[in-house]
Structure 1
Amino acid sequence: MRAVWSGFALGVFWLQQQAVLPEAGDWWVLVLTGGAGAGVAVWGLRGWSASGSAPARRHRLTARARRGAGWLALCCAAACIGFGYAALRAQARLAVNLPPGWEGRDIEVTGSIKGLPSRDANGARFLFAVDSNDARLAAFPPVIRLSWIAGDAPPPALEPGERWRLPVRLKRPHGNANFGVRDAEASLLARNVRATGYVSAPQRARRLAGREQGVAVLIDRWRAALRARIDSVLADAPQRGIVIALAIGAQDDISDADWQLLRATGTSHLVAISGLHIGIVAGLTGWLAAALWRRSGWLGRNWPLRLPAQLVGVTAGALFAVLHAALAGFNVPAQRALWMAMLAALAFVGGRQLARSTVFAWALGLVLLVDPWAVVSAGFWLSFCAVGAILYALSGRPRMAVTEQAEAASDQPRRERDDDRQRQGGRRGEQHKAAPPRCLALRGAALRHLRTLCERLRSAAYVQFAVTIALAPLTVYWFSQIPLVGPLANAFAIPWVSVLVTPAVLLGVALPAPLDGFTWHAAHALLEWLMAGLQLLTGPRWAVWWLPQPSAWALAAAALGVLWCLAPRGWPLRWAAPLTWLPLLLPGADGAPAVPSGGFRVTALDVGQGTAVLVQTAHHALLFDAGPGPESSHAGERVVVPFLRAHGVTTLDTLIVSHSDSDHSGGVPAVFDAIDVRQMVAALAVDHPLWSVARQHGAQTAPCAAGQRWQWDGVEFAMLWPDPGPLSGKPNEHCCVLSVRTSAAAASGPPTPQSLKPPRPGNEPARFAALLSADLEASAERVLLARDPAALRAQLLIVPHHGSRTSSTEPFLDSIDPSIAVFQVGFGNRFHHPHAGVYARYVARGIELARSDQHGAVRVDVDPRGEGPALTLERYRETQRRYWMDR
């Protein structure tokens, strides 16, 4: 079954990498391949599964080759089954969608609150299970995600299972799509959320009588009640969010500062109800239940004679694992631990002994059978790879029980010699005859316990080493970092949280009020001490090693190195295993080559309704605006910072804040908190708080003004607007406008491809430029045209003001004459950007267009000296497409 479940998991994973779902011809290929694999598996494994004399009649190498082919074919057949199963599940889920014509229209839906709602200063967010809709749409999404925005009045208290009639405005599932950043649409699909939106008219919302019933609703109500009780007990305590996370698995209340500290020390896994917590607490529960069962004689009962205490302990541990996983909301690590605990319990009850690898394979298959989209989450990989690394690392080491028996056997001859010596010591008195044997026995017992303790500590250290080594490549892939202090931090954080904090939190869950408050306060005090200790470890800058997101080949090489490093003793050249991790130092997760000298790269990020553009030369990086902040979509910390880290940008030479509008400047504080910024140039009022934020982080500051020029790696940068002096008028009238241009020394490059218009004759035809225009409006466009039309000419234009009708005048476009124009707009934005008339101007000029709402992030490489095209355009949703996009 290990080969079957492994192949099944491989097939499920492969389906999630496809750009389209299989069609009729693909299904026939899949069926034929799976059938052929099954036939070869039967042929190859039939002789192996027979009696031992059958293989003896064949040549040994032939028999081994046949068995190997059989196992490989079985794995291939299982992969086909997994691929087909995941495809069928995906087709069924994608068949239900909000019709495009109903996006942004008022619909009244009736249904119930699903899961735990989350609240913050901006309002409440929750899942809503729809029973009916007044649009009378037959294939209406069964689950939608809604926001209840806090306006004049905060949203009402929302509880799981409550029935409501809500007026809503919806849109199809859509998430920001950026190179190296997590795909939000995949997460929505995994949760079966086929529409998102908000409560459009809160005054017309009505709570209906009655509540939904069922086990799931009962569990959610229990979790909501526990969260409310912890909120009332701990109030505004700093670590209240971590206590809630350890109690019910909800992480919404953990502060950003705590998240940064936990990630920097590699201990963020401890604030979730993970498999480690479930395993430890379930083990303690089973041990306690068995101990009490054995002592039933104190009550005048002989229960162990009727039912073995071991069976009671295993059953109690398994039941508690179910309860604890339910508290966690059945996340992927909890499911993995639950399935492993249940399989081990069933094997014990049935009198069978399963190999640990078999239990692991069954848990892997069952998790993917329930949720085929688990493979797109970081929790799946971190959880299963951690357990797999432990099992693999310990497979070549002697078990503790065997070690203790061997030590006891080796001590037996020594003890017999000591007894003989004592019997021969007749010259000593009776007192001296009796004392030495007792002292020697105590010394021997102490030495044995000391050896056992040392062996256990050595085994625990080796397990920690194995997990750290195994998860390092995955940590780089998912989070672009390796916490170098992680092993030291986890050495005391894991036992501290698992043995002290988590039992205290769960004891509060079990105790009635007001006793629960004492245990939660104790858990909070323990967490404060833990966070203070972790804070001490994050002082040095080398505590976290930031690396670019690796490519698939670099990740595969690192995985091979992990297997090599953790191989059993005696494996050759284990010291050379770290060499396979060297590719992790190289960028290339999205296939982008390095920026050549004399050229530059412009990446317009998909931050929704806002602007964030990264300009890179061979050795420098400039960020033009940082997208919306906490007042909107948190794009600064959700998109901009992860993108920079994934591409190895740990230092920004310059951060330009074009103006004060929040969709351009809101994400700037998040960038300063995560990235080293050497200089900030901005068109902001002198009293704007971002100036003080920049100075606090040690960045040089300067106002944005026309005439500023500098050169990096053969690329010229020039500020065209606003004019020097005090800012006046509304922010759009004095926003920064930046021109990026290759130098005259790059005049030997080849012409641009035929699909892109070449520069106009007579204006340095071999020089290429990009114009970043922020929210420039028509009045400023006319001033720039009158001043120097040639300075505006560019092959790449970041469209001014998101395509608003107040910008992109026809003379302005004629003067720029762009080959590529990029619209940074939000999907279904309320401003209806880009304006239809403005968009038509770009279409009429034959300009190559890209829109962040349709294409995601857009990357343009300018390389006038290369052998290929001088301009290369890449749209994320075309090159990194998955089958769920735009569905």
Structure 2
Amino acid sequence: MLFRFLLFLSFVVVAFLPQLPHWPQLFSFLWGAGLFFLLLCFSADADSRCRLLKFSLLVVVACWAVIWGKLQLEQRLASELEGLDLRVEGTILTAKRDMLGRERFDIDVERAFRADGSAIGDFPSRVRVSRTTTKDFRSASIFRGTEVSGDLQTAAGQQDWGAEKSDIEPGMAGQGWSFWVRLKRPHGFANAQSFDYERWLLAHGIGASGYIKTAEQYPAHRIEFLDNGFQLWRAGVAQKLQQHFSSRPEVVATLVALALGQRTGLNEESQQLIQRLGLSHLLAISGLHVGLAAMFGALMGRCIGALVSAFRPLSNVGLWMGLLFGVVVALGYAWVAGLSLATQRAVIMLLVAAAWFLCYRRYSPWLAWWWSMLVVLVCQPLSVLEPGFWFSFVAVAVLMLLLRERASGWRRWWLVIKTQCLLCLCLTCLQWYLGDSVSVLSPLANLVAIPFVSLLVVPQILLALGMSLISWEGSLLLWQGAYTCLELFWWCLEQCEHRAVETLLPVPRQVTLLEMVLVVVALALLLLPWTYPSKALALLILVAIWWSPTQAARAPNIDVLDVGQGLAIVVSSDDQVLLYDTGPRFSPLFSAGEAVVKPFLTGMGVGQLKVGVISHWDNDHTGGVLVIDREFDVKQWLSSDLVTHARKVLGEGVADCLREQAFQLGAWQVYVLGHSLGDDASIDPVFKKRNNRSCVLLLEYQGFRVLLPGDIERRRELELLAHPRLQQPVDLLLAPHHGSGTSSSAAWVAQLSPRWVVFSAGYRNRYHHPQRQVWQRYLQQGSKAWVTAESGAINVTQDHLGRWKISGYRESHRRYWR
């Protein structure tokens, strides 16, 4: 047990390394393991041999995790190739298209060339690129589907898409293509609680991302000899399903997800409903589906074995045939579903279980559970950081603990209900730890949905997939049956939608890792058939965690979040929080508000915002405003631009920040630096530009001064320099307009003379923010400059001695892949 735990721990340690050892150091470790192995060969003591063998194995496993990481890092794009026009030839592995016509391809690269035609030797084997096939982006507005004026939609719909527009026909997975692309090294947002996109790219072997150039001088053409027949078949099945069943998009999207593992067709509302009811696992091809396929195959095999046994009465034919067919059908289903990481985990667990069965020895099932986990980690060392990894193995552990009880009659139903409730409780705790909310209806929804999908939908899909290999027309009846069942499934979900919202269990507060470990221990005490004192102790632990005091009052704190080319700032003190802007919206299904701001606030244990500020209504500042307004109780919104229309969306409580005003935010004194004309400021020619109408906030605490000017430009800067509150330097300055050349004039920099200046800008953004002359201007003034694209989220707070300090998330949470 201890040895297996140490093997697991070695993967965890490597995953949290800030930097991987160099090759010479790694070889020295391997030589050390070899030396111990030699000592093992000459050792006569059995105990010594066993200890040396275990130690050598630990070293080898740790070295393998390091080697895997280094090999993945070497697959990344070389720095000198970033931003260049390159031609790549390869096969499209996945093709996804959103409702704006923006396509995203994962390409298995066969060859790559520079613009002059010379071949590139070391190039990533897989890249992710996007292509925009339409010029209409107004549907990207944050007010899509809301009755507001077209002027406001145009203002909010501005977006730096970073991809050229074209009217090219979309590509299909499995096709071979030659594209002209512009790439960059893997890069993602770096914030507390948010999704680590760089780790995800590393785990999936994607060494670069970028966009396809579609101008006439950069033609794309098909390369048929690079076509992948199997991927073309999968794409063809998905396309035929979407064409044949087009009346209910969410139903056909679920059908495609269960059949082929493609989950891109669900809109935002449908995804939220599925998540709130705790049914996300039903749409991901994982252990449940692979296990069902194995059971279906085993049943077929046992039937065939029974027929064979009728002619040759061999006692174990049916057993062997069941095992063989179960494994083959499960592997086939996983292959058709695309062999995602979740599917790979399920296949590995199935193969380990099959090997356990073939050993003909009575091993503990927990030993199989441990070895399944270790084999998964050997194949994918960074799985230890994936939520799906923990969901899978915790769920299997709960099932193993409960289903070993033997029950009959009504006790069998009670065991099913108890298993479902405790399984949902475990997964709810994990989701809380990850910052996600779950409805109280989740256990009941799973109790009904799991057998419905397992017994009625998945078997028809398996038969339909098999039949479609022979004849598509012959499989239509089965597809129709599965589609009808899913229509009923979605009808039931829609009836539960309002109840799911009403019974939503919000994340009570930030759950620490220690509390999560204690919860797991308590649940184990409840599940294991031990004495009543142990169960009473478990209940005491759970009650103590639930009623433990919330975190201490927050010290004055500022976080400039890493949201790419946009802005989102969280100011907090005591139990009061102010949010300044909400980041950009990248597509109808993805915004910084959902991906970055919401998880960050949830991780802080925030359920209410005292003030939400919209500096001005450009998309890079307002992309997540609807998400924040929906998910959090915002007591007051401030805005200076298009206030009348904003009130239609956010309510009548939106106040105009062009008026001079002040308020207290915990220990912070906040001043809104408006205009002397107040509501009539729009007649000033300076305010004709939307950027100059940005809300400007000055925060003070015990002499520490922070200025948040939004996207103001030079004319507004010159006006503000005459403000009585800006006649002395500031300690922290948010660089106006992301470091654009239209802002940060010499007079502005000289008068404010900030100690620290923060640029909120995207990695390799097309505007080249922060611009070099602006950067140099601040450095010459003696300011220390920070850029979110390089440092991640920027945190400014006080230490225990009351001294102010600034740090970047990438430096304070360093990992070897970023």
Among 255, 264, 272, which residue is 2:267 paired with? 255
Does residue 676 in structure 1 map to residue 633 in structure 2? yes
> Corresponding residue for 1:103?
82
> Corresponding residue for 1:577?
538
SS in 1 for 2:707: strand
> Corresponding residue for 1:210?
224
What is the CA–CA distance in structure 2 between the aligned matches of 1:97 and 1:532, rounded to whole Å? 44
What is the CA–CA distance in structure 1 between the aligned matches of 2:334 and 2:121, rounded to whole Å? 35
Among 543, 550, 554, which residue is 2:515 paired with? 554
SS in 1 for 2:434: helix
> Corresponding residue for 1:427?
none
Aligned residue type for 1:250: Q
In 2, are the aligned partners of 1:465 and 1:487 still within 8 Å (CA)? yes
| Pair 868,28 (structure 1): closer, same or farther in 2 beyond 3 Å | farther
In 2, are the aligned partners of 1:294 and 1:303 still within 8 Å (CA)? no
Among 519, 544, 560, which residue is 2:481 paired with? 519
Aligned residue type for 2:278: G
What is the CA–CA distance in structure 2 between the aligned matches of 1:324 and 1:7, rounded to whole Å? 34
The Cα offsets for residues 709-761 of structure 1, whole Å up to 9 and x where unpaired, read as 1113232111113552254512101111111112xxxxxxxxxxxxxxxxxxx
| Pair 332,129 (structure 1): closer, same or farther in 2 beyond 3 Å | closer
In 1, are the aligned partners of 2:556 and 2:667 still within 8 Å (CA)? no
What is the CA–CA distance in structure 1 between the aligned matches of 2:655 and 2:720, rounded to whole Å? 22
> Corresponding residue for 2:804?
871
Aligned residue type for 2:534: L
SS in 1 for 2:575: coil
Cα displacement (A) at 1:208: 2.9
> Corresponding residue for 1:233?
244
Cα displacement (A) at 1:818: 1.7
Cα displacement (A) at 1:884: 0.9
Does residue 224 in structure 1 map to residue 235 in structure 2? yes
| Pair 32,555 (structure 1): closer, same or farther in 2 beyond 3 Å | farther
Does residue 801 in structure 1 map to residue 758 in structure 2? no
| Pair 700,316 (structure 1): closer, same or farther in 2 beyond 3 Å | same
Among 243, 256, 264, which residue is 1:244 paired with? 256
| Pair 296,86 (structure 1): closer, same or farther in 2 beyond 3 Å | closer
> Corresponding residue for 1:538?
500
1:336-735 alignment, distance < 5 Å: 336-349=345-358, 351-394=360-403, 397-399=404-406, 452-511=408-467, 512-513=472-473, 514-540=476-502, 542-570=503-531, 572-581=533-542, 582=544, 594-596=552-554, 599-631=555-587, 634-686=591-643, 688=645, 690-695=646-651, 700-722=653-675, 724-725=678-679, 727=682, 728-735=687-694
What is the CA–CA distance in structure 2 between the aligned matches of 1:548 and 1:218, rounded to whole Å? 50
The Cα offsets for residues 157-186 of structure 1, whole Å up to 9 and x where unpaired, read as 322332212111111110010012121100
Cα displacement (A) at 1:249: 1.2
What is the CA–CA distance in structure 1 between the aligned matches of 2:391 and 2:55, rounded to whole Å? 25
What is the CA–CA distance in structure 1 between the aligned matches of 2:671 and 2:577, rounded to whole Å? 15
SS in 2 for 1:239: helix
What is the CA–CA distance in structure 1 between the aligned matches of 2:548 and 2:623, rounded to whole Å? 31
> Corresponding residue for 1:9?
8
In 2, are the aligned partners of 1:11 and 1:81 still within 8 Å (CA)? no
| Percentage identity across paired residues of the two chains | 28
Aligned residue type for 2:782: G
| Pair 3,658 (structure 1): closer, same or farther in 2 beyond 3 Å | same
What is the CA–CA distance in structure 2 between the aligned matches of 1:686 and 1:776, rounded to whole Å? 18
What is the CA–CA distance in structure 1 between the aligned matches of 2:359 and 2:55, rounded to whole Å? 31
| Pair 488,797 (structure 1): closer, same or farther in 2 beyond 3 Å | same
> Which of 1 and 2 has greater Rg?
1
What is the CA–CA distance in structure 2 between the aligned matches of 1:372 and 1:867, rounded to whole Å? 38
> Corresponding residue for 2:194?
181
Cα displacement (A) at 1:529: 3.0
SS in 1 for 2:659: coil
In 2, are the aligned partners of 1:178 and 1:856 still within 8 Å (CA)? yes
The Cα offsets for residues 528-562 of structure 1, whole Å up to 9 and x where unpaired, read as 2331354254142x522314443333333333333
In 1, are the aligned partners of 2:178 and 2:223 still within 8 Å (CA)? no
Cα displacement (A) at 1:6: 4.6
Aligned length: 768
Aligned residue type for 1:841: R
Aligned residue type for 1:180: Q
The Cα offsets for residues 297-322 of structure 1, whole Å up to 9 and x where unpaired, read as 9xxx6265497222212211111110
In 2, are the aligned partners of 1:587 and 1:647 still within 8 Å (CA)? no
In 1, are the aligned partners of 2:176 and 2:226 still within 8 Å (CA)? yes
Cα displacement (A) at 1:346: 4.1
| Pair 19,720 (structure 1): closer, same or farther in 2 beyond 3 Å | same
Aligned residue type for 2:527: L
Structure 2 stretches of 5 or more lacking a match?
Answer: 136-165
What is the CA–CA distance in structure 2 between the aligned matches of 1:554 and 1:46, rounded to whole Å? 43
Aligned residue type for 2:435: F
Cα displacement (A) at 1:41: 10
| Pair 584,800 (structure 1): closer, same or farther in 2 beyond 3 Å | farther
In 2, are the aligned partners of 1:288 and 1:313 still within 8 Å (CA)? yes
Cα displacement (A) at 1:642: 1.7
Among 290, 294, 299, which residue is 1:282 paired with? 294
What is the CA–CA distance in structure 2 between the aligned matches of 1:302 and 1:786, rounded to whole Å? 100
Cα displacement (A) at 1:663: 0.5
> Corresponding residue for 2:154?
none
The Cα offsets for residues 102-155 of structure 1, whole Å up to 9 and x where unpaired, read as 211211222221234444424110111222222233212121110012245444
Aligned residue type for 2:459: P
In 1, are the aligned partners of 2:643 and 2:654 still within 8 Å (CA)? no
Cα displacement (A) at 1:770: 1.2
> Corresponding residue for 1:774?
710
| Pair 846,304 (structure 1): closer, same or farther in 2 beyond 3 Å | farther
SS in 2 for 1:725: helix
TM-score by length of 2: 0.87
What is the CA–CA distance in structure 2 between the aligned matches of 1:209 and 1:382, rounded to whole Å? 41
| Pair 206,787 (structure 1): closer, same or farther in 2 beyond 3 Å | closer
> Corresponding residue for 2:69?
90
SS in 1 for 2:722: helix
What is the CA–CA distance in structure 1 between the aligned matches of 2:546 and 2:749, rounded to whole Å? 44
Among 165, 175, 183, which residue is 1:162 paired with? 175
| Pair 860,347 (structure 1): closer, same or farther in 2 beyond 3 Å | closer
| Pair 11,462 (structure 1): closer, same or farther in 2 beyond 3 Å | same
Aligned residue type for 1:227: A
Aligned residue type for 2:133: A
Aligned residue type for 1:712: L
What is the CA–CA distance in structure 2 between the aligned matches of 1:711 and 1:477, rounded to whole Å? 32
| Pair 714,508 (structure 1): closer, same or farther in 2 beyond 3 Å | same
What is the CA–CA distance in structure 1 between the aligned matches of 2:603 and 2:626, rounded to whole Å? 19
Among 201, 205, 212, which residue is 1:192 paired with? 205
| Pair 236,286 (structure 1): closer, same or farther in 2 beyond 3 Å | same
TM-score by length of 1: 0.80
Cα displacement (A) at 1:88: 0.6
Structure 1 stretches of 5 or more lacking a match?
Answer: 49-65, 401-451, 743-765
SS in 1 for 2:655: strand
In 1, are the aligned partners of 2:189 and 2:197 still within 8 Å (CA)? yes
Aligned residue type for 2:19: V
In 1, are the aligned partners of 2:75 and 2:205 still within 8 Å (CA)? no
In 2, are the aligned partners of 1:799 and 1:822 still within 8 Å (CA)? yes
